[in-house]
Chains A and B, each alone.
Chain A
């Protein structure tokens, strides 16, 4: 599947790559008991928005209902990336929706400066690191992509 069709979608991929990386770095700081300032917690809070977007796609595909989440095709792109992250991390694909919901609840707690266990922090960190990598790979693909075939190069939008 083509990664994005226009520059707006590309800017979203960029934004998500940057956000996921920053979330993973901030969680790492919390995990190492380093001081995290308010801007760090604001970054974590933005993670809730990203997870909600992923859940919108998940609820559509899995036909699930979650309070405050409206199933939407807009979440499909990031949900697809979340699935790839699960695959890379060798996590179970049995109940993805519940796992994503759990992540969102944990991120909400973390942004409210509540404590999470080492295991929870570690799992979240691994998920966001992998997600960031996948978005980053999307951006890099543009550099390394093969030249288009002549016949396909002939498009009219």
Chain B
């Protein structure tokens, strides 16, 4: 068997893989989803795989089989095509996961509406994954696919990639949440943070990144020279450029990732008010509050810093959220919520995270620059991104919250403010989630009884609140749609 025969056989397998994905996407296109996004994605992947299998034939026919029968070096372009097909095969999991039975589907329309109001020209697909991870891929999938296909233009008919723009008509983004938390509605304000990434990404444009790189260039050189001096290497010149490049990339990662996360948290707080800070705290407790950013944790800033910045937004722009004085809340509710607020204020008042950040010289310089950008970033979000219009003030939020909490107390979904049959008002997503948080905080500290036993009733109550909240969001959305259609 010659090397050509082996590669020919390999080409057969690549085409088969592409066709297998095509078939899978065709089947998935017929499934049930909460939005059109998964179907559009399935059709796009199907189309790309169809074209890639045709490209394989051209690439094979133009591959130079040189160097004799033992030379298997030549199929690099086939390898790359195969790799792309495998990547697309992996992307099919996004569609599978978005099947209606895998999603907290009752909140999807409401969340999609929120996303649409912020990004009218984007298509956003929500999917669960088994990994415990809330995330957004900042790449527009449509542009990404077009980018992948750039170098295939030599093997496929002209304009083949333009079809992608008609299959995915708008920039396409994926938001992921942990499957485990499908019903934990109280953590879903974190999806507001994920939407925030799309704004933070706008702030962190090329000019700002270039300016940061230029501003720190000299100091990075000094740090690099010191590192080389402290660990003398046989040929300094050989290592100087790679070392400095690595340090510069490190600084950029600290700075970009720090700002990305902090600004996204701020967006979460603007959109969801106090619920955002309570949800952040819940996640922070799981992960540790002073874990320093590093290559090992994708450069996430420490939670203490993140919650401190969220708190500033709540305090500075919420116009009197805390301490809670509104007499429409019960004294127990007021006490418990104020206690939670005080705890948050106390632990964010400690600067342990900032001290730890300074232990690494590159991290120190990057975070000094992060600090100088927060205020500009907040102004950018409120004014340039027009998030000022979405800012929830205490007086507005607290108007209906006691009524919605009262419904929860009576095991009624908090979907509307109904003082009488004639006087009915739909509750908003933000009001529903905040009412559930406020309610939960007022009783959820009774987890163990005096004998140290786990209180099963608290666990049941927690699940009941989640279910009532999910139902409320669904009912409120249905009522809103009904009202709009009856107009």
Contacts and interface: CB of A to CB of B under 8 A. Distances in A.
Interface of A: 1-2, 5-12, 14-15, 17-19, 21-22, 25, 28-29, 39, 43, 57, 60-63, 70-74, 76-77, 79-80, 83-84, 87, 93-94, 96, 132, 136, 139-140, 152-157
Nearest to B133: A155
A18 B245 contact: no
19 contacts: A1-B250, A5-B138, A14-B148, A15-B147, A21-B77, A21-B80, A22-B151, A43-B154, A60-B213, A71-B210, A72-B206, A73-B209, A73-B252, A74-B209, A76-B249, A93-B235, A93-B240, A132-B76, A156-B300
B422 interface: no
Given A62-B241, A83-B242, A136-B76, A152 B296 contact: yes
A156 B283 contact: yes
B147 A12 contact: yes
A115 B370 CA distance: 51
| Contact residues of B: prevailing secondary structure | helix
A39 B58 CA distance: 14
Given A22-B77, A152-B296, A76 B147 contact: no
| Contact residues of A: prevailing secondary structure | helix
A156 B135 contact: yes
Contact of B295 (A1, A25, A39): A1
Nearest to A135: B80
B71 interface: no
A136 B139 contact: no
Given A93-B241, A136-B76, 20 more contacts: A5-B138, A6-B138, A8-B139, A10-B87, A25-B64, A29-B64, A43-B154, A60-B213, A60-B248, A61-B241, A70-B210, A74-B206, A74-B209, A76-B248, A80-B249, A132-B76, A154-B133, A154-B287, A155-B298, A156-B135
Contact of B210 (A11, A21, A73): A73
A22 B252 contact: no
Interface string B136-165: 111111011101101100100000000000
Interface in B218-241: 235, 237-238, 240-241
A60 B132 CA distance: 38
With a 10 A CB-CB cut-off, give which of A10, A25, A96, A156 has the most chain B CB atoms. A156
Contacts of B336: none
Contacts of B79: 136
Contacts of B154: 22, 39, 43
A1 B249 contact: yes
With a 10 A CB-CB cut-off, give which of A6, A43, A84 has the most chain B CB atoms. A6
A113 to B, nearest CB: 18
B214 interface: yes
Interface of B: 64, 76-77, 79-80, 83-84, 87, 131-141, 143-145, 147-148, 150-151, 154, 190, 194, 197, 206, 209-210, 212-214, 217, 235, 237-238, 240-242, 244-246, 248-250, 252-253, 261, 283, 286-287, 295-298, 300
Nearest to A77: B249
Contacts of A6: 137-139
Contacts of A139: 80, 83
A157 B298 contact: yes
Contacts of A15: 147-148, 150-151
Contacts of A43: 154
A157 B144 contact: no
A9 B135 CA distance: 16
B62 to A, nearest CB: 9
B244 A21 contact: no
A5 B77 contact: no
B88 to A, nearest CB: 11
Contacts of B64: 25, 28-29
B144 A7 contact: yes
B241 A157 contact: no
Contacts of B242: 80, 83-84, 87
With a 10 A CB-CB cut-off, give which of B131, B133, B242 has the most chain A CB atoms. B242
Contacts of A94: 237
A20 to B, nearest CB: 10
Q: Please list the 4 inter-chain residue pairs (A to B) with the smallest Cβ-Cβ separation, ordered nearest first.
A: A8-B139, A157-B135, A18-B151, A11-B147
